[in-house]
Amino acid sequence: MARRRVALALTYSSTQGRLTMYLDGQASGQINKPIPMPAADGQFFTIGDSIGNRPPLLIDEVRITHNEKTAAEIQYDFLRATPFGNNEVLLPLTGLSAGAIAYSVTQAGSTTSCGSATAAYVGIPITNPTPASNLLPPGAISVSLSVLTPGATSCGYSVNAQVSYSALTPFDKGQGSTTHSAVIQVLGDPSRVSDVYVRCAIAPDYVVHLQYRAVSAANQPFPRIAYTFAQNSSLASPNLAGYALWALICCPSPLLFSSDRPTPA
């Protein structure tokens, strides 16, 4: 079996009794009951079972926080392109207007501020992706994508691979402006989804994740005809008319039923 690198995150709320598991930034399972959490009583701890057996996997980075991370924080950490910093704080910016942001920091369990600062906020880095995640016409192998940015900048994209901003394919038009567009090649296979990631130089850690899939073409022209063979009175006339009506309403592909058995050749 081929090895694959994954990002696994576990969050726990002691007040809610909620344990949530995230795989590659997406919630994949949840247990709603109190779970005793192990406590480290020294300078180090072991990741494994209760008797110290190591898990059968390789771990390249471990981060532990004292609070339950939100789904937005977990996804941001998974999509980020820059290394983690110490004592990072994710500030929700929904509904916040562009301008200077003033914030202060307090220690856990205290109400006294131990520091404050201001930062410039230009607005949501990437907005109005058009088209949004959606289905594409049968056989489609490309999508014309456009996005807006609050300031003049350059943008790029990647398909089915999450990479840093420097490794992205530049947008075809709009570099150095606020409107960006590109014709992006996607998978034409109806059984596969194309994941498109967009980043801009104005905030290279901010990612817009879009998904597209071409729908299947119709296999046959309509109407489609099928024969029914009633083996008991429940499907005999006049119930057959009701049965045909149910099929016409409920089935994805309209069917025309006939009670006449075809004559063998």
> What domains sit in the chain, N to C, each tagged with a CATH number?
8-79 (no CATH), 127-214 (2.60.40), 224-258 (no CATH)
Nearest to 215 by CA among 197, 194, 195, 198: 194
Look at residue 171 in the predicted model and tell me its pLDDT.
Answer: 97
pLDDT tens digit at each of 265 positions of the chain: 556 778 888 898 888 888 899 988 888 989 888 877 766 666 666 676 666 677 777 777 788 887 888 888 888 888 776 777 777 777 777 777 788 888 887 877 788 888 888 878 888 899 999 999 999 999 899 999 999 999 999 999 999 988 889 999 999 999 999 999 999 999 989 989 999 999 999 988 889 999 999 998 876 555 555 555 444 444 444 444 444 444 444 444 444 444 444 444 4
Other beta carbons within 10 angstroms of residue 145's beta carbon come to 23
Look at residue 42 in the predicted model and tell me its pLDDT.
Answer: 67
> How far lies 172's CA from each of 155, 158, 169, in Å?
9, 13, 9
